[in-house]
Structure formats: C-alpha cells, structure tokens
A and B are shown apart, each in its own frame.
Chain A
Amino acid sequence: MAQPQVIVLSGYGINCEEETQFAFELAGARAHIVHINDLIDGHRGLENYQILAFPGGFSYGDDTGSGNAFAHRVKNHIWKQVLSFVQKDRLAIGVCNGFQIMVHLGLLPAIGGKFGTQQVALTYNRSARYLARWVDLEVQCDSPWLRGLRKVSLPIAHGEGKFYAPGKVLQELKARGMIALKYALGEVCTHLDLEPNPNGSLEDIAGIADETGRLLGMMPHPERAIDFTHLPHWTWLKEKYKREGQKIPERGPGLKIFENAVEYFK
C-alpha cells in the first residue's frame, strides 16, 4: 500500500485536527478530518483507515477530567469499532488531549491486552496551571512511530499532563518496555534554561505505548514541530548556520514521527 489513509478525529472541542492532518499529509499520507458524530451515525467507518489519530484539544473543556467526557462518548457509541481497529495491524496515536482520551478509554497502556480498562492517569500539572513551552524527550521504546529517533524536542501545552501510574502498573510498563518517551535534559532545555520535567510526571514519563508499540500516546505535540520556524530558537539557529556556512533546514523534528507512520505501511 503506497499511501495510508489517516482518520483524524474532531468535534466537541478537539482543536489540533487541521495541523495534525497537515503533518500526516506532509509525511505522505492521505488524512481525513472526521467528526466523531459522523462515526457514531455511520456516515463514516473506521474500517477504511490504516491510521487513527486522536488530536490535541480541549474536548468538553476538560470538564470532569481532561479526555474523560470524550472517551465516554467513544465508549458509549463506537467502542466496538475502535477495539476492532486497534486489534488489527493498524496504527493509532493520541497527542495531548488525544493521549488523555486514549488513557481514559483504556487503549493505553492496555497491559496484558486489557483494552477498555483505565490503568494509568494524566492529572493536574505540578503548577496546577496550563503550561505552554518546549521540552526535550528521550525515546525509550521500540515503537513504529518512533523508529530512528533517540532524542527529539517538541512543544507541550496542557494543564493536566502529569503522568501517574500505581506502583504495580509502573513496574509492568517498565518490564514490558511500554514507556515510550521521557522528559530529559536536551538541546532546548539547555538552550532556554528550562527544567526538563515540565509538569511533575512520574519518572519523567511523557508518553507510553501499548505492548505492540502500534498505539502511542504522548503529551508533547509533534504536529507543532514540523517546520524549522516552529523551533523556539530558530532565529538563533539560523544565524548560527548562516555564519557556519551551513544550509538552513526547512523542516522540524516532529515530522519524523508522522513519516514513520507512513513508512510502516510501505
């Protein structure tokens, strides 16, 4: 299959669907924004897609816990479809609010294949306040989404991104290699003198995968880091590259994640 079809969910306050669609298309996929109600009333079906994206946003205004209400809407109406999708050789990603939705749905981490049971949580940031800034991440696991990446810098923007897991669950996540991304001191935090862990996440966890690695959830936003001018220090880098006689790059670090997904279906 040359060009995977991506479904990017929207509705009820999700708000990153357009840039998520753009990132997938830039990476070579065909991406379709589909309102969740069009899945519920049967206008569209998941069976036509290879990649499912839960984008970031503010579904239901984070009321009753971020991602919770949207997850219940999925569960109340289209759970079977979603379950059948993730159990096939397909890819799914949840970014920020999408990650929170996947966690509430029990799509992540789904230790032991227990899809549908919530096992971990994303709770109020250490500051109890919404925070928008950049972070550095270290890739921890072998997921198709993260192939060829060891370190990557991306922006975050969330109020409830502090990862939490009960002790036993955390052990399992480690044992099964399901911790996908950790906040770490890297290029951007060094450059901007920022604390690596932005929200007090347990063991600096920024993203997790299911046991196959096909399902990935992450708080940082790769779709906001696909161009060079997205970088928080691009004006400095540009000046540096210019003086060193180097070419100014066109793209940013987040694009690779979308390219990996397209690559998976080649």
Chain B
Amino acid sequence: MANRIEVALKIPDARALVRKRHLEGMGRSIKITGVWLVDVYTVDGDLSGAQLKAIAGVLSDSITQRAKVDQPQSPAKFDWAIEVGFLPGVTDNVGNTAREMIEDFLKVEFRPGQGVYSSQITFLCGDLTADDVATIARSLANPLIQRVHIKRRDEFQAYRGMDLVIPSVHLDSKPTADMVEILGAADEELALIGKRGIADADGTRRGPLALDLTYMKAIQEHFKEQGRNPSDVELESIAQTWSEHCKHTIFSDPLDEIRDGLLATFIKGATEKIRQQKGKRDFCVSVFHDNSGAILFDDDHLITHKVETHNSPSALDPFGGAITGIVGVNRDAIGFGLGAKPIANVYGFCFADPRDTTILYKGSNFTQRMLSPRMIMDGVIHGVNVGGNNSGIPTSQGFLIFDESYRGKPLVFVGTIGLIPQKSHGRSAHMKRARPGDWIVMAGGRVGKDGIHGATFSSEVMDAGSPAAAVQIGDPITQKKLSDAIVKEARDQGLYNSITDNGAGGLSCSVAEMARECGGCFVRLDEVPLKYPGLKPWEIWCSESQERMTLAVPREKCGQLSDLLSRRGVEATIIGEFTNSGRCIVEYNGQRVMDLDMEFLHNGLPKEAMQTVECRQVHREPDIPMADDLTDCFHAMLARLNTASFEFISQQYDHEVQGGSVIKPLQGRGRVNGDATVIRPLLNSSKGIAISQGIYPTYSKIDTYHMAACAIDTAIRNLVAVGADLEKLALLDNFCWCSSDEPERLSQLKHAAQACYDYAIAYGSPFISGKDSMFNDFKGYDEDGKEIKISVLPTLLISGIGILEDVGKAVSLDAKFPGDLIYVLGETSEQLGASEYYALWGEKRGQPATGSSVPQVDAKSNLNLYRAYSRCLQEELIASAQSIHRGGLAMALAKTAMGGMLGIDVWLESLPGTLSREDVALFSESQGRILATIHPNKRKSFEDLMRGIPLAQIGTVREDDLIIMKGLRGNVIINTALQGALQSYKSTFRDY
C-alpha cells in the first residue's frame, strides 16, 4: 500500500516566487498570476495510519510547513497542476533520505522493491492554454529522467488530487550471460555488433560497443585461438577497456611520422624532457599513470590535479551530466595513490548563446527534441553547484565561453585538486599495489542500470541511437561519507593496499585496471549489491552507477575496514579477490561468464595508424572603419557573453568552505571575476596554491598551433600575475576535438599537440595529467527537419596550477588607490584574428569576421618578463595586477577600474608595440602582457627591477569615477563613468 505525504509551505515560498519570475521570462504569451509548490513523498511501505502521520511530521518543518497524508494540498485558487517526479531507477536523493529517516525513526525496514519517492507539484494560476502548460512543463522537467503529470483544476478536483504513482523498477529479463556468435560472423555482422551493439533475442541492439571492424576482427581472432565465442560480459568488457574514452587511441596510436602517438611524443614527452632538465628541482611526483597527476607541495604533502569533461551526458541531462562530472572527478582525487582529499573544484563551460531559441532534434521527423541552450546552461551550472557545495569542496576557479559550435554538445570541464600526505601509515601515499590474495571490495553506492555504456557512448558522435540509459544523477552525500571514511580515516590506518574509482566502464574497468598491479582477478558478480533485482551480469559488470570506489584489502584488515565503513554509514562488500593468474575471471550464478587473458584485455587492441591532411583556411582580415569614439564599442565589449561578469555563478559556488580561501573568484570593490584564484590548503601554513585556466577555441578557426600556444601562455600568465612561483607551475591538457576520424581534424590536433610540447618545454612547465574527448559532434535535424551536423570548434583547455610560498604576497586585480600608476608590461601588436573584437564586428555586420592575425606567443621574451614581474611581486611592489587576454587591454583596464571602483586616465601613445590604430591597441589579444598598478613611490624600484623588459606607464588611477582613455594621437577615444561600465559588464547575466 502506498501513500502520499504532501508538504506545503505556510509562509511565502521564495522558490515559488523565483519560479514565477522564471516562467514569466519564457515568453510574452505566457501570463501567470500565481505559482505554488507542494513537495510530495510517495511512501510505498507497510505503515499504519498513525505511523504515516508521525512521518509526515518528521519529513516537514512544523513552523513553516503543513504536511498531510493522502489529502491533496492545493492553493485556494489555481488553474493547472503539474507534477514532476523521477522515472523508475533514476537516483532520487530526497526519496532515499526520506526512506532512511523513516527507517531510523520507526525502527522499521522497507521490504525489497518498496521505497520512498519524491516529486513536486507546481500549481499555476493564469489564463493558460494546454499548449502553454506543455511548454512550461518542458522547462520544468527532462523527459529522459523525469515523469510529468498535468491536470486541469477540474480534473484535479474530480480525482481529488494528483495520481498515486510508484516509480519502482521492474525488470523481467532473465539475468543470465549470453554467448555472442562472432567466430562465424561475416565482417558486416562484426561491424554491426561494434557499431550498434550485441543483438538481444528479439533482435534489438543493446547500444554501441564503439568497436570498429579492425578491433572486432582482433577480438574474433583471439577467440578463434580460444576455440570459442565470447560471452556478452567479455565482449562488453573489452569494449569498455578498449574504448576511446579509456584508451585514448586517437591520442596514442601512430599518426603520420609520430610513431609513438601524440600523447607519448608531445605531452608525456614534454614532461619527461622538463623533468630531466630540472634535475634536482623536478617537482613532479606522479604523472600520467594514476587518476590524477601529483606535484610536490611542501616537505610533507603533495597536491594532485585532474580535469575531466562530461560533455555528452550534459547535452542530454545537463544537471545530471554536470553533477556526475564534478562528483566523478572528485573521485579522481580520492582514487589517486592511496587517496587524496579533494580540496578545490574548478569548472569551465562552453555553451551556445542562451538566447538562441532555435530547435534541434536528435531524431528524424521532429523526434527527440534537444534541450534549449538556456536549459542546458542552467542545468549544468546547477549541477556543479549541487555537486560542489554538497560535497564541501570549494569551487572558486572557472570560466564561461559561448560559441554557436557548442549548440549540439556543450563542453563541461570539471576538475579537482587534491591534497595527500607524502607518507601514510609508513607508506609512500602516492604508491599503491593490489596484492594477490587481497579481497576486492566495492564501497559506496549500489549498482543499477544507470550509466550503462557511458564510456562507449562518449567515444561516439551523438545521434538518434545514443542511449538514454547513459544518463545518471549524482548523490554527493553518499560519496562524501565514503570520501571522509577513506581519506580521513581508513587510509592512515593502512587498511587497504590499493584504491581506484569506478567511473567509465564501472567495475569492468576499475577491477581490471587494479588487477594489472598484481596480475589477475576473480570476481563473483552475485555479491555486488544492487539497487533493484533483475540486472544482467554484463550490466552489473559495466554499469557506471556513481559514488563507488574499488579497494584491494589485505584479508587480515578486512574486518577492521568493514567495521569502520559500516560505522560511517558506508556500504562495503567483498566481491572477489585479486590473483596472479594472469586472467580476469568473472562468475555469476555459478557460471563462468568471463575468463580473459589480462594481456589481451589490456594490450590486445590493434594500433591503427592514422594519416593527417593539412587544412588551412585563410580568412580575410575584416575591414573595420576607424572610429573617433570607441565608448559605445567599449561598453558592447564589456557586455559580451565571453567577457561579461559571471558573478551569479561565483556567488552560488561556495568558494570558502575548508577555510583556505585567499584570492576569491570575485575581486575588489566592484566584485570583478578574476583569472586565477588562490587557496591555502593547510590552515597552519602560509603556503598556497594558485589555480588558473587558458582557453581560446575561436583561434582554432585560424590555427590550432597558436590556439594551443595562447592557451598555455594565458594559463601560465594568470598564475604568475597572482603570485605563483614560475619555477613550479604545472599544466593539464583537455582536448575536446570533433570528427577525429577526419584527417583534416587530425592535422589540427597534431599542430595543437606540437604546440603543447614546444611551449611546455619553453616555459619549463610540465603536463602532469590530461584527458581528451575526440567526438564532440552532433548529428541530427534542424527546425525544418533537415539533417545537420554541428561540431565544436577544436577546443583545448589548459589548466594551470602553481605554488605560492607566502599567500600574503598574492596580488588581486583591482586598482587600490587614486594616484597609482598604471603599467602595461609586454608588447601589443596587431593580433586580432578570431578575437572578441572581430566577433563583435561580425555580429554587427551579420557575417562572420575571423581574420587571420591570430596572436602568436614568444615564450622566450615572455619568460623574461614573467621572471622580472615575479621579482617585483616578491618585493611587494605591485598594488594590483592581472593578465591581459580575451577582449584585450580595454577589458583588463576596465576590470582594474571596476575592481577598485576608481576611475582611470589612460594614454595609449606610450603603449609598447607597433600600432597604427586605437581599436587595435585596445582590443588586440596579444599574449604575454600583464597590466599592473603600483604606488608612485615604488616607480623607481619597479622600473629598475623590470629593466630590459618592454613596458610603459600608460595611465594613472583617478580620484573620481571617470574612465578616460586617450588614443595614439592624444585624442579622447573613451569617456565614460564607472557605473556605466559596471552596468554593461554585469547586465548580461543579471537575471541568471
């Protein structure tokens, strides 16, 4: 018997008011006079009336809420009711907490199959048509994960409320392993299995294995030698392990003359060379082979960093995709070495213009409508909010980039920095090794059908066949309990030998990966705790259900570990043992469903040599007429999506939890977004970590080599500007490419990777970790039903991490006091190709303006400049500083002024560089430049220390609130007030 407990607020509901504003913003046709919300718990259990009444009290707040059992709560006046709940099997955190509370309160246990499910009713008052309400419902719910029930007032009253729905999972499949006929399969059938998946008895395909024919034939060959067909568990497992997502074949396989592949040659190769060059000053500790990369922090600690992407899931379910992204990359810290504590999150989002209202369909005939850019943006931002905030990890550093190429798939970058002691329980904490005989323990969440085929799915282009089951929702609190128990207790008690996270590929990847440390494994899938019965063995093995770690536990420590975990509310189960048999063996229900040679599983995939084809597009430089007054242009630049304030994100992401915030995401009186943040991970030490990012996707339109070079230079410059030690900077690469099976795209990739090598070495800043995502393409249909393909711009995010000896010397970007001198360090040249200024011009003209004068990086002279600047910073001569990047000098000057809420006088005549035009001087995106202000009495010491570096004083900080800039001939070209600039800068996302 199931019952509905409905909870309504007795006092004005801020959530309802905000929702009303949001719905009103949807369009002029929608007129809403009132919105009310009612929270619903559907309790499916054997509870008495008295018990239910008591529970209603437990699940509500007696002061502000009214809770009723099986009595609909509705406002006196309403016209429509929309109830949104989850579909069966979708993670329902509120429902799960309510269940736990009920069990703890009543001392009862729900039977298998029973549970508590949350939903919410939105009551609407207004003159709305059924179509309007359907539009509203589409903005409230995502049909992939949620169910929607709509009732008119009369229907609501006739039925006495909304319907009783119990979204429990019923699987009627027989959970056995099937053999897959491949020995006798023709190439055509092999290719089909690889592309569309194994065929079930009814002929339907299970979803992509993402194995091309070469791979399928290698598998066929292997099983021919074995004299048998593979089971579905084996084939799925190989597909996970060999997936582009896991093996990064495009980045690893031979490409043209690069026989060892791009990753080994250009990324790892750079790091190896830098480490050799640094010799005793090498600060890398663990690079490229663990879940995160690690560098030395102080005598007792390492810091780790890892940045991931979660693009494909975020396109389908933005909230779920983003939250599982951030909570998932947290596990790359927890799963580093013996377990690092996550101490900071970073983010970066590439979206389409949220004002774009065009419609896309994944399916033909106007089926499978894609979410709007605004819904994707809102959902992704909220997902990282919940994932980061709930986990108690500060999220300070991030960026937003907008481009129409992200309309099909957004790019969602999420990263986590970790802290780990060098020694734990007498062991080097960055080392781990499962030993034969260790138990395999799975800890954390349970396994369901969620996230099946995530790894293979993200290795493919998104189209109508992309599986919805790949979507999942995170549960940060389950993971927080697990994380705390591991990194704050179990690790330092020495209770396990190895640990890794369950991400892509689930157990099939985590167990098989750890089994390499000892040489084999034996798993009993029957032991794996499930969310609901009926999962097939291959699903249990490959499910990507979240919040799970796999541990190798010495037998004698197992009791102590399971006792600890159970006392911390963490479920942990022995699911098998590590062996040295050389084989990965899996049993289910007494049947051996997998018995694979470890060597074949990990190294059996054939290398596929790739060829590139050079493709350089030449774009004409736009012919922009000279203007005498650039004030309007200045405001338009400040208001652009790519340069505007995203304070609304910085304020909703807790960046001060853990007590180590130093340079916050918003700086100065005007609360301006900075380019780097600083944290202090050890509360009793003044040593800090600086975090930054660099990204220039539009430059790829011209040249990916310079695109990559600029991203690296910017990430480094942002760190240096804030005060990081130039000798101890590390980098991470995240390539998000498109159509990587096309030789032209591979050529662009090769150039970008070459730049990574050249510039990492030039700066002596090693790559310590990275990730790539090669198929960020969308294939579908536009509003008219015409087939289209949308590919992201070849995008490279460079994340930077650096160390500050003394955070007390960190510098913020805001001008400090009137009379301070404004300096530009570095030369400005006519480098506007693919710049924000050209984009603005292109939009004005209604045709793209790309140009070809993309900024190029002179690392040698930049390095001299950064060194000299760092000396000035250490001498505390710098009052404010920031790196000059997107939008050029004008944007940096504006932020200096708005940050300090002080006017500025600027004269461009003395600006170092070769310039013929004011707009070029203001908006060129030349790299290697820093904008700084200094106290007038520091002028001499500053200029002395900077000797030999191209620099000039180009202005002073004013007493009043005017921003006045004079051009190359001393003429006033910008004249505006601070408040107006601030208005432009902050208006773009004011209502977000």
Contact = CB atoms under 8 A, between A and B. Distances in A.
B62 A118 contact: yes
A61 B392 contact: no
B477 A60 contact: yes
B595 to A, nearest CB: 41
Most buried by A among B62, B63, B664: B63
Which of B481, B567, B657 neighbours the largest number of chain A CB atoms within 10 Å of its CB?
Answer: B657
Nearest to A239: B816
Q: Tell me what chain B mostly uses at the interface: helix, strand, loop, or mixed.
A: mixed
Contacts of A10: 484
B289 to A, nearest CB: 30
B17 interface: yes
A72 B658 contact: no
Interface in A36-66: 37-38, 41, 56-58, 60-65
Contacts of B97: 60-61, 63-64, 69
A19 B105 CA distance: 31
Output the residue of A61, A126, A233 with the most chain B CB within 10 A: A61
Nearest to A250: B808
A249 to B, nearest CB: 11
Contacts of B475: 61
Contact of B63 (A16, A120, A131, A159): A120
B98 A63 contact: yes
Contacts of A127: 14, 18
B64 interface: yes
Nearest to A103: B63
Interface residues of B, number: 74
B661 A126 contact: no
Interface string A111-146: 000000011110111111111110000000000000
Q: Interface centre among B104, B392, B569, B652, by most A CB within 10 Å? A: B392
Report whether over half of chain A's contact residues are helix, strand or loop; otherwise say mixed: mixed
A48 B714 CA distance: 54
A72 B282 CA distance: 52
Contacts of A240: 816-817
A239 B813 CA distance: 13
Interface in B362-397: 385, 389-392
A229 B807 CA distance: 8
Interface in B471-485: 475-477, 480-481, 484
A214 to B, nearest CB: 23
A111 B402 CA distance: 54
Contacts of A13: 390, 392, 476-477, 480-481
A132 B651 contact: yes
Given A10-B484, A38-B567, A157-B654, A63 B93 contact: yes
B64 A132 contact: no
Given A15-B391, A192-B671, A128 B60 contact: no
Contacts of A259: none
A73 interface: yes
Contacts of A62: 390
B14 A125 contact: yes
Nearest to B9: A123
Contact of B101 (A15, A72, A226): A72
B60 A118 contact: no
Contacts of A60: 97, 100-101, 477
Nearest to B900: A236
Contacts of A223: 659
Interface in B804-860: 807-808, 810-812, 814, 816-817
B808 A121 contact: no
B653 interface: yes
A15 B935 contact: no
Nearest to B392: A15
Contacts of A37: 567-569
Contacts of B61: 65, 68, 104, 118, 121, 123
A228 B666 CA distance: 17
B810 to A, nearest CB: 7
Nearest to A97: B392
A64 B392 contact: no
Interface string A225-256: 01011101101101110110000100000000
Nearest to A23: B659
B879 to A, nearest CB: 5
Nearest to A73: B104
Contacts of A228: 808
A15 B14 contact: no
Contacts of A120: 63
Contacts of B652: 129-132
A243 B817 contact: yes
B186 interface: no
A162 B11 CA distance: 12
B664 A232 contact: yes
Contacts of B656: 132, 155, 157, 221, 224, 230
A246 to B, nearest CB: 15
B449 interface: no
B94 A133 contact: no
A220 to B, nearest CB: 11
Interface residues of A, number: 72
Given A12-B481, A37-B567, A128-B18, A226 B104 contact: no
Given A69-B101, A72-B105, A200-B14, A57 B568 contact: no
Contact of A132 (B105, B654, B658): B654
Interface in B69-121: 93-94, 96-98, 100-101, 104-105
A177 interface: no
B669 interface: yes
A132 to B, nearest CB: 5
Given A58-B477, A63-B94, A72-B101, A242 B812 contact: no
A89 interface: no
Contacts of A104: 61
Given A120-B63, A191-B669, A239-B817, A72 B659 contact: no
Nearest to A131: B651
B17 A128 contact: yes
A157 B808 contact: no
A66 to B, nearest CB: 10
B935 A243 contact: yes
Contacts of A119: 63
Given A12-B477, A120-B63, A164-B11, A76 B93 contact: no
A130 to B, nearest CB: 5
A18 interface: yes
Interface in A185-230: 191-193, 200, 221, 223-224, 226, 228-230
A127 B21 CA distance: 11
Contacts of A238: 808
A28 interface: no
A178 to B, nearest CB: 16
A35 B490 CA distance: 14
Contacts of B662: 229
B480 to A, nearest CB: 5
B680 A229 contact: yes
- Residue from A64, A68, A165 whose CB has the most chain B CB atoms within 10 Å: A64
Given A124-B14, A242-B876, A61 B477 contact: yes
Interface string B40-72: 000000000000000000111111110000000
29 contacts: A11-B481, A13-B480, A13-B481, A15-B480, A16-B392, A57-B392, A58-B389, A58-B390, A58-B391, A58-B477, A60-B100, A60-B477, A65-B60, A68-B59, A72-B104, A76-B104, A118-B61, A119-B63, A124-B15, A130-B652, A132-B654, A132-B655, A159-B389, A164-B64, A229-B808, A230-B656, A235-B812, A240-B817, A243-B935
Interface of B: 9, 11, 13-15, 17-19, 58-65, 93-94, 96-98, 100-101, 104-105, 385, 389-392, 475-477, 480-481, 484, 567-569, 651-659, 661-664, 666-671, 680, 683-684, 807-808, 810-812, 814, 816-817, 876, 879-880, 901, 935
Those 9 A-B pairs whose CB atoms lie nearest each other, nearest first: A15-B392, A19-B659, A63-B97, A121-B63, A128-B18, A235-B812, A124-B14, A157-B654, A61-B477
